[in-house]
Each structure stands twice: as C-alpha cells, then as structure tokens.
Structure 1
Amino acid sequence: MTHILIGVIGPGETASEAEMQTAHALGEAIAQAGWGLLTGGRAAGVMAAASQGAQAANGLVVGILPDADVTQAAAVDIAIVTGMGQGRNVINILSSRVVIACGLGPGTLSEMALALKLGKPLIVLQPSGCLLETLSDLSSTPLVPVATIAEAIAATRRYLAE
C-alpha cells in the first residue's frame, strides 16, 4: 500500500513558538486524515513540531535529512539521509503530493519556489500579503492561501480528489 505523503515546510531554528504550535496541530491533523507526513526531519522548528504532532496521532512520519547523519532525525519513523544539504529540498517537494507551508524562512522560500516550478499544489498557511502576491505572480500551478488548519486539510482533500 502506498501512503499519500503531505509535505509540511517551514523555518527550522528561527521558527516562532506560534509557528511551532501551529505545525504541531497541523501534523496531528494530517495524521488524523490518514496521510503520511513528510518533513525535513531535523530536530528543529516546524519540521520537529509537525513530526511530533503526527506521531502523537499515531501517524507515519518521513524525514528527509540534509546530511548523512541519521542522529539529526527527530520524531520520524523513516529517516532518509541524503548528504545533499539544501539540495534535499527537491526530494521534499517531489515526494509530497501536496505541500503546506507553515511560516517562512530562506529554506522554506526555496521549497515554495520549487513547488511552484515543479507543479506541486502549494497551500500557504496564514501568509503575509506581499508574499502571497509575489508567489501568485510567479505561479502557474495551484496556490492556495488559508487561514486555518481546517482550511488547509480541506484544500488538501480537494487536491487529492483531482
């Protein structure tokens, strides 16, 4: 059986407490929907919080690690070591059926750009106006701004049904 993997992207060490709380609840909601969660896998910020939330709801968590060091992994069931540094962002996006952005950092922005370039549905949770405008101008693929986790899950369901 193939699991549907939903990617959650967001800042690592610079994530705010609010972003981490949102990511935890988002990971939990993804697991409750019966989907697997894919993150950057490290013990930092949004990726760690989303992974912990999914595991709290007995969900499957896949972590795509930037280095060849599996000890960086936190709250993942399957750790994939790449040794690719930020290049692993391509794997994160290509392996996700839908990508949900929770917060913003330089790595997150690069993953958002990859999602747009590679034609992956991108859901942006609580985006700022200028970011949304810029992404929309660049996008020929689905881009959905949402205000709540419930809206993100509903949008994900719509994409998966297509």
Structure 2
Amino acid sequence: MIAVCGASDARADERRVATEVGTLLVGRGAVIVCGGVGGVMAAVAGAVRRAGGTCVGLLPGADAADANADVTIALPTGLGEMRNALIARCCDGMIAVGGGYGTLSEIGFALRIGKPVVTLGSWDVHRPGDTGMDPALHPAGTAADAVDWIMQRVPAR
C-alpha cells in the first residue's frame, strides 16, 4: 500500500500532480492510502476511483461521512492529525505532494520507521549535521519518477 500525502488546501498544480500519481500507481497495481479528506487527498482518491483502483482514507475525525466522495474505504480514526502516524505505519512507501506541517509529520514518521519516501514539490528534509540526503528519501521531479522510484522499493504484492 502506497501513501499519498499532501495539503487539504492544495494548489491546482499540486492537485494535478496528485491526480497523475494516483493514475500511475493504480496502473502499477498499488492500493493507495491517504488522509481521506480534501486537496491532494481528494485529487488522488478521484484519480484512483476513475482508474478502477482502491483508495483507503484514514480520516482524522470520527465520522465516515467526512470522507471525500472518491475514497473507496473510509476509516474514521477520531485521532485528528495523530492519524498521520497510522498512515506512515500502514503504508509500504509514501509519496508526498506539496503540503504543510501535517505532510512534514507524515514524512518524519515514515522515515523514522524506515519507509521509503518520495517528495514532489514537498519538504527537503535533512538531519542536523548530515551532508547528504537520507537514502530513504528521494526528491522527484515528475509523477512518473516518483512512482517508479517508490515501486522499486516496496514489496511486490
């Protein structure tokens, strides 16, 4: 399962990238997990639905009705932004598209537990004193590059 993360108030260009990522991931046989609400999450869920795939939404609230209409499976957590740790834990790899501090927390949780992360116009994360990029983190230039990189690093299902 691949997590796609990004802001709920995403810009149009970020929504376009998330749409392309979702379509490409479904074409590679991936199941997608996201935060289940708006912005990047709605864009990827819509692309996944149109491509015939499955998108699991781990919702911050306690009501499944809060999910965007394109989520295949809505799981209300009641955890608020703490659900970001669940998203990082349940995925095999993560693609972050743009995003704010919530997305940064998802990236941090994923890297902390050893999951590969691709960023597309998202955070540039370095540990203090490190001179290079964490090998589990890849800044991609295109949706295709992001999907290729992550799919090479997750177990085949």
TM-score (norm 2): 0.90
Q: Give a deviation string over 1:54-83, Cα, whole Å, max 9, x none.
A: 111001110000111111111111111111
Equivalent in the alignment of 1:136: 126
Q: 1:12 aligns with which of 5, 8, 15?
A: 8
Unpaired segments of 5 or more residues in structure 2?
none
- Aligned pair count reads 151
1:115 offset after TM fit, Å?
1.2
| Percent of residue pairs identical | 34
Aligned-partner Cα distance in 1 for 2:58–2:135: 24
Is 2:23 the counterpart of 1:28? yes
The answer as to whether partners of 1:119 and 1:141 remain within 8 angstroms in 2 is no
What are the equivalent positions in structure 2 for 1:3-152 lying under 5 Å apart? 5-13=1-9, 15-42=10-37, 44-74=38-68, 75-127=70-122, 131-132=123-124, 135-137=125-127, 142-152=136-146
Aligned-partner Cα distance in 2 for 1:157–1:50: 17
Letter in 1 for 2:89: L
Unpaired segments of 5 or more residues in structure 1?
none
Letter in 1 for 2:138: V
1:161 offset after TM fit, Å?
5.4
Runs of 4+ residues deviating >4 angstroms? 138-141
As a proportion of its length, which structure holds more helix? 1
Aligned-CA RMSD value: 1.6
Specify whether residues 161 and 45 from structure 1 end up closer, same or farther in structure 2 by C-alpha distance, changes over 3 A only: same
The answer as to whether partners of 2:62 and 2:77 remain within 8 angstroms in 1 is yes
Aligned-partner Cα distance in 1 for 2:22–2:49: 8
Aligned-partner Cα distance in 1 for 2:89–2:2: 11
Specify whether residues 156 and 140 from structure 1 end up closer, same or farther in structure 2 by C-alpha distance, changes over 3 A only: closer
SS at match of 1:136: coil
Q: Give a deviation string over 1:118-142, Cα, whole Å, max 9, x none.
A: 2111111134xxx42xx13367550
Aligned-partner Cα distance in 2 for 1:97–1:81: 21
1:153 offset after TM fit, Å?
1.3
